[in-house]
Each structure stands twice: as structure tokens, then as C-alpha cells.
Amino acid sequence: MPNKGGFSLRLDVPPDEVSLAKFLTQSGTFRHGDLLVNMDGIRIVSQNTSDAPPPPIKPIDNQISLSDVDTIKVIGKGSGGLVQLVQHKWTNQFFALKVIQMNIEESARKQTAQELKINQSLECPYVVACYQCFYQNEAFSIILEYMDGGSLLDLLGKVKTIPEEYLAAICKQVVNGLCYLHHEKHIIHRDLKPSNLLINHRGEVKITDFGVSAIVASTSANAYSSVGTYCYMAPERFSEENYNAKSDIWSFGLVVLECATGQFPYPVPGKDEGWFNMFAIMQAIMDQPPPSASSEDFSPEFCSFISSCLQKDPKARLSAQQLMEHPFLSMYDDLHIDLASYFSNDGSPLTTL
């Protein structure tokens, strides 16, 4: 079995029950060489001690269950439910566990599970890995790759604005991820926003939560609770039944402009009072000219990049593949931008245990 991420399993090796019996006790997990033993069974592992960043991994032959993990702490809360940091008992590996409360009947549950399973088939360094989804106790639980820097929303809360050179390095990764989703997997994200772009101490930026918002919206009472989702929706999503991957490009453009200026590009009525007028936001997105970056504050390349994303006509918007070639993405290459230090030193709330 290939060692995809720090450990490998050799379940073809039959455990020697007699020699292992001495390590079994009533509690805990014991390590004996390459063996991990606890009351639930025996696993054979081999820890990778190298410092090299592990690629997105599939833990334990793709099998992981809630009883395999310990909860460390709650790391986030979205409209659908809680996100917790959990640790795998066998390997000590950290994961994020997202729990979406959803009391639905069996047919809808099966369909939802099927749709969530699509996430498990995705393998890309720019997309948060999804290891397992299951329905238990009237909730969907999703086990995700843990991103220890939190989201771009968290980062923006600290740094207020992200300088162009760092944004270029961030955008390059997100556009790569969008290329994978749109052009290789033919998946539309539908809910790109700062909280769905996650970062880690290695300077990686990854897209998360594709399809999850649509599922939450279509199957639960949470349908209208995520106002954030509406703020980043492309104009055609309010007026046309059919929309395509270009609607993600619009959302991405708004996210990038917000990161650069520190402000959501449309005036949001009620934001300061703690409420949002969703209708006014939709009206502004549909009726007003698209937002743009000021040429006084930003490079021509950045302004052009934003305008390539924020075209009200989806046909006039560049695709992810076309954006890959945009000069903004490579204009700061000579600076060898170190996102790892930026995320670690400049305010990212890197999770501490």
C-alpha cells in the first residue's frame, strides 16, 4: 500500500495474537514498534519522521470513524454547525470534524450522503482533503484535513488588508484549486467566500466546503441563515436558473478585492448594526456596476485581474484556466514570497492546543 502521508498500513500482515495480548489493557492505545494497540483492535503503522510536508492523505486505508478520534477543542462555528479539532487515536494525526445537524428522512439523507461523498474523491493540494462523511445521531459528520491557520476571514480579522505581493501568492493557489474543481472535476463550488479558503503554517491555501452549503440550504431549516453566502453570489445566480463555474470566478474576485482593501466591495446595509438586508445586497449586485480596484492604490495588473473576475456578464469573465495565465499571478515571483512566515507571524490565529 502506498505511503501517502506519514504512515502506511500493512493489514495483510496477520497480527500475532499471543505476543500482542500483553499490550492490551482496559484503556488507552499502546505503541509497540510499528504496532498500535487498543481495545478496538490492532493497527500496523510506520510514522514518517521527515519534515517534508505531507501531501493530502487518506488515513487508515480510507476508514476512520468517530470512535477512532478524540475531541481536542471547538475551532469554529458556521451556520450549519460546529467544527472541532480532533486527534486520531491510532496515529495522533489531527483532523477537523465538521458536524452539520440535519434531521431529514432517509431518502434525502442517502442523496445528501452521496453528494458529500464526491468530496472524498477529490485529491488536489489546493483543495482541503475530505476523508470521511457519515450520518449519525441526526447529523452529518465530515472528517476534513485540519488547516491550522484557520480561514482567510480569520486572517483578515488580524491583518485588515493583505498586500498585493502576498495576495498574488494566495491567488495562485486558489486559481490552481479552481482549475482542478472546474476543469478536471466539473464541480462548481457555489459558496466561495473568505471563510471557505483555509490556510496553514506551511503557507498553503486550500478551498473547502464545495457542495456543503447547497446541501445545507436545500435540506434544512438553515436555508437562509448564511447571509455571507449571498454576499458573494454572482449576479446571474439571482436572475437565472442556469449558472456555471464562472459564478465561482465572480465570488473569487470579490474575495480578492476584499482582502486587498479590507472591506466588502459593496456597502452592506445594517452590517454595523449587526443585521444584514439581504434584499438590498442582492439588488446592489444585480443593478450596480461591478466593483473595481482603484488604480491609485493598486498595480495595473491587480486592477486588471479584479476586472477579469468581476464582469457582470459571465461570458465576459475569465475562466480559472485563463486566470492562470494572468500577469498578476506571476508579477511578484522574483520576491519569492514566503506565505508560511506571513501566515505564522502576521496575525494568523494558528491554533495552539
User: What is the contact surface with ligand ATP in residues (CB under 6 A)?
Assistant: 75-80, 83, 96, 98, 128, 144-147, 150-151, 153-154, 195-196, 198, 208-209, 213, 226, 228
Identity of residue 328: F
* Cα dist from 98 to 142, 196, 209, 254, whole Å: 5, 13, 10, 26
Of the two residues 29 and 195, which places its CB atom closer to ligand ATP in the complex?
A: 195
Asked about 16 being catalytic, the answer comes back as no
Cβ-proximal residue to Mg ion, closest one:
209
Of the two residues 129 and 320, which places its CB atom closer to ligand ATP in the complex?
A: 129
DSSP E strand boundaries for the chain:
30-32, 35-38, 41-44, 69-77, 81-88, 94-101, 130-136, 139-145, 197-199, 205-207
- Output the smallest distance, CB 277 to ligand ATP, in A: 17
Of the two residues 331 and 340, which places its CB atom closer to ligand ATP in the complex?
A: 340
245 binds, among ligand ATP, Mg ion, none (CB under 5 to 8 A by kind): none
Report helix, strand or coil for 318: coil
Of the two residues 119 and 176, which places its CB atom closer to ligand ATP in the complex?
A: 119
Which residues of this chain interact with Mg ion, rule CB under 5 A?
196, 209
**Which residue, among 164, 176, 56, 67, has the nearest Cα to 119 in the 3D structure?**
56
Q: Which of 154, 191, 209, 248 is catalytic?
A: 191
Of the two residues 29 and 213, which places its CB atom closer to Mg ion in the complex?
A: 213
Q: How far apart are CA 109 and CA 98, in angstroms?
A: 17
Of the two residues 6 and 228, which places its CB atom closer to Mg ion in the complex?
A: 228
285 binds, among Mg ion, ligand ATP, none (CB under 5 to 8 A by kind): none
151 binds, among ligand ATP, Mg ion, none (CB under 5 to 8 A by kind): ligand ATP
Contact predicate 178/208, CB 8 Å: no
* Cα dist from 107 to 100, 133, 135, 240, 253, whole Å: 17, 16, 13, 28, 37
Contact predicate 114/106, CB 8 Å: no
Of the two residues 27 and 121, which places its CB atom closer to ligand ATP in the complex?
A: 121
- Output the smallest distance, CB 147 to ligand ATP, in A: 4
Residues with Cβ within 8 Å of residue 211, at least 6 apart in sequence: 115, 116, 118, 119, 187, 189, 190
96 binds, among ligand ATP, Mg ion, none (CB under 5 to 8 A by kind): ligand ATP
- Output the smallest distance, CB 107 to Mg ion, in A: 26
Contact predicate 150/75, CB 8 Å: yes
- Output the smallest distance, CB 193 to ligand ATP, in A: 7
- Output the smallest distance, CB 154 to ligand ATP, in A: 5
Let me know how many helices (H) and strands (E) the chain has, helices first: 13, 10
- Output the smallest distance, CB 200 to Mg ion, in A: 16
- Output the smallest distance, CB 333 to Mg ion, in A: 30
37 binds, among Mg ion, ligand ATP, none (CB under 5 to 8 A by kind): none
173 binds, among ligand ATP, Mg ion, none (CB under 5 to 8 A by kind): none
* Cα dist from 4 to 9, 24, 46, 47, whole Å: 10, 29, 12, 11
153 binds, among ligand ATP, Mg ion, none (CB under 5 to 8 A by kind): ligand ATP
Burial class for 139, CB neighbours closer than 10 Å (0-12, 13-18, 19+)? middle
Q: In degrees, to the nearest 5, what angle opens at C-alpha 265 toward C-alphas 264 and 267? A: 80
Question: Which sequence positions are flagged as catalytic?
Answer: 191
